[in-house]
Amino acid sequence: MSSNRGVFLSDNSLPFKRSLFIPTWSSDTRLDGKTAIVTGGNAGIGKETVKDLASRGARVILACRDMAKGEQAACDVMREVKGAKVVTRQLDLADTKSICQFAENIYNTEKALHYLINNAGVAVCPFARTVDGIEMQFGVNHLGHFFLTFLLLDLLKHSAPSRVINLSSAAHLFGKIHFDDLKGEKDYHHFRAYAQSKLANVLFTRELAKRTEGITAYSVDPGFVNTDILRYIRRPLLDVVKNFGFLIRTPAEGAYTTIYCTVTPENQLVTGGYYRSAAESSNAGQDDGTALKLWAVSCHLLGIRWR
């Protein structure tokens, strides 16, 4: 068996079954009457986010590519959370037509949208392209969510105060936006592409916060989480992960900062900020020039005007 194959890290593969993550924040805030969308809500951090929001009384729209998995996740949540209001809608972030269809469905069925949680993502995968020809990690992690947010902006404004939460990663610290090769045609490297997409999440959040009234935006680092998104991890990083398994968080722990940015009063948060472990981190993606250029390039790639 090749040592370069990606693996999913089950609990039994880790040297420590419990992480050292210690929560420093909790809240019993209710979200009755609120509506949230969670992309990638069928598994991992997304599913835990859906469960938490549903337990607070929110109506949650679980958006995912595989409807069978989405329906099963929704059933799981409704079985575990008494009175949970969860519906499943199909969304493929690698296909702009699917994103348009999803947004149209939302406008046809929803009167309000208070929380857009852009959680779905792909990580360190082999080279692939979206339906529209963009490198997969940049296309799904950034461009797909950028387009989705653009399409749902009117509903978010109508429902103000509302929030957009973008899941990033500490990997963004190693990222650089390669404007001359966003399609990954020149020199693709799986981790570099992932880091670029996560930096794009932070920069998008920063610029979005400047351009919208009544909508606040936050990017979050969930930590290193044991979810299916790790399936492409290879050696030597795989060996490091196994040796430091106590640093790996469960999906519920990974959802911690997402929930923090969802329910914490706005006057206690900084819109456009980057948060990790329920606290703002100030040294992340603060290049306004790059953020502005990324915004313009993203609009160009999508063929939209967003001022």
Distance between CA 203 and CA 286 in Å, rounded?
Answer: 7
Cα dihedral value 87, 227, 103, 274, nearest 10: 120
Nearest Cα residue to 229 out of 210, 258, 251:
251
Given the residues 115, 194, 260, 274, select the one marked as catalytic. 194
End-to-end alpha-carbon separation of the chain, Å? 52
Examine the residue annotation and report whether 232 is marked as an active-site residue of this protein: no
Distance between CA 59 and CA 265 in Å, rounded?
Answer: 19
What is the three-class DSSP state of 180? helix
Residue keyed to tokens 């068996």: 1
What is the three-class DSSP state of 57? coil
Output the CA torsion sign for 253, 47, 96, 136.
positive
Percent helix, strand and coil across the chain, each to the nearest 5: 45, 15, 40
Positions marked active-site: 194
